[in-house]
Structures are given as structure tokens and as C-alpha cells.
């Protein structure tokens, strides 16, 4: 019988299971692969795809979540002030040319006094990044980067991001399938041990 017909039959005709036990091992393996693929599509891919499309995808997320910004000639401009405070991480961005932080040496005492309860602190102004991480305070001036970058440039990375997401989902499927077969092998091993203890012969398909 065709493997897809058997798959449909197995959903409502439980008496047919005795016939499935006579299938070759390769066919049983293919059946399991198809079954895990269908389960993965409906339990993981489909819900995520529906939610993803409902929210407009990555492009709309970037457009709505990230304010306009531009880094040009070593000067950063951002449309609005941004602040992120979560757990032991604090990030503050203000690119107003009149509001400039001191360098790493000048900011060290400020970090340890006012941000002592954060393990990671990042302050960004129009000229540089001053950051504290694992007790060390460092700085990076945008002129050292020698690059121009803007929000519009982020959209060029979206196709690459989709490829990365696809690869992650493929790897996740292989992991899920491997976990399924590991569970089957565990059950088979347990059955074999139980059969050995009961001194009964347990053949393939039983």
C-alpha cells in the first residue's frame, strides 16, 4: 500500500495497525520521517508563519521598532532618545550634539556610583559609545569605524536574515526528528530488556 494512503488510514482505522507491522524497516523509517515533518509543520511552522504574516514580517518590525538614524562622517544622528533598562543591562542613546558624555576615564566613577547594580551599561552620544562590561569601562569613537550607515541599510540584510531563519528551522526539524527516533529507540530498548527478563522472544514489529 502507498505510504501516504497508510498515513491517512492510520488516523481513523486502528485495526489496520496490524498490517503496518508487516512493512519493511525502510518504509517504517520513511513513515516516521513524514509523520514528524507533518507534525513539525502544523505545530511549529504554521503558527509562526501566521503570526509572522499578521505582524507584517521583519521589514515592518524594523520600520516600527527602530527609529531613524544615520552615522555619517563619524557623527551619529538618531530621530529620538532611546532607553533600554532590563535586568542588569542599561542602554541609553541621545545624539543631541549639546548632550555629549565624557570619555571612558571621566565616566568610570559615574558608572560605578550610579550604575553599580548593572553588569552592562552602554551610553551612546553623537560622537562615541562608552560602555561598562564586567567591571571594565571602554570607549569607541565613531570616527574610528570609518563607515557610513543608516536605517535604510538594515533592510539590505533582511534577505540574509530570512535565510538564517530558514536554516535554524531546518536544524530544529532535524533535532526534533532525532529526538523522536531516540525516544523510539529508548522504548525499543526497554521492551527488549523487559522481554529478556520475561524470557520471551520479541521480534521486529511486536
Which stretch of DSSP H or E encloses residue 11? Answer: none
User: Which pLDDT tens digits describe the chain residue by residue (206 residues)?
Assistant: 566 666 666 666 666 656 666 666 677 777 778 888 888 888 888 888 888 778 778 888 888 888 899 999 999 999 888 888 888 888 989 999 888 887 777 777 776 666 777 888 888 999 999 888 877 888 899 999 888 999 999 889 989 988 999 999 999 999 988 888 888 788 878 877 877 787 776 655 55
pTM recorded for the entire structure: 0.61
Q: How far apart are CA 37 and CA 77, in angstroms?
A: 47
Neighbours of 107 (CB within 10 A): 20
Instruction: Give the phi and the psi of residue 123 in degrees, each rounded to 5.
Output: -115, 130
CA-nearest of 49, 47, 70, 61 to 158 is 61
CA-nearest of 75, 165, 72 to 124 is 75
Q: What residue spans of 101-157 are helical by DSSP H?
A: 104-114, 151-154
pLDDT in tens, 83-107: 888 888 889 899 998 888 877 777 7
pLDDT at 121: 87
Amino acid at each position: 500500500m502507498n505510504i501516504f494512503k497508510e498515513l491517512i488510514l492510520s488516523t481513523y482505522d486502528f485495526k489496520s495497525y496490524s498490517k503496518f507491522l508487516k512493512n519493511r524497516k525502510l518504509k517504517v523509517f520513511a513513515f516516521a520521517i513524514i509523520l514528524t515533518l507533518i507534525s513539525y509543520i502544523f505545530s511549529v511552522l504554521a503558527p509562526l508563519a501566521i503570526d509572522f504574516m499578521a505582524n507584517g514580517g521583519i521589514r515592518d518590525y524594523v520600520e516600527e521598532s527602530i527609529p531613524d538614524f544615520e552615522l555619517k562622517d563619524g557623527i551619529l544622528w538618531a530621530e529620538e532618545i532611546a532607553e533600554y533598562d532590563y535586568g542588569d543591562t542599561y542602554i541609553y542613546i541621545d545624539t543631541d550634539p549639546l548632550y555629549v558624555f565624557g570619555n571612558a576615564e571621566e565616566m568610570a566613577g559615574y558608572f560605578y556610583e550610579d550604575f553599580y547594580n548593572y553588569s552592562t551599561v552602554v551610553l551612546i552620544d553623537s560622537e562615541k559609545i562608552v560602555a561598562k562590561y564586567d567591571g571594565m569601562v571602554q570607549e569607541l569613537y565613531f570616527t574610528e569605524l570609518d563607515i557610513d550607515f543608516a536605517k535604510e541599510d538594515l533592510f539590505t540584510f533582511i534577505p540574509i536574515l530570512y535565510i538564517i531563519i530558514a536554516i535554524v528551522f531546518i536544524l530544529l526539524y532535524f533535532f526534533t526528528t532525532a529526538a523522536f527516533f531516540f525516544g523510539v529507540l529508548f522504548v525499543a530498548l526497554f521492551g527488549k530488556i523487559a522481554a529478556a527478563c520475561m524470557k520471551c522472544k520479541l521480534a521486529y514489529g511486536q
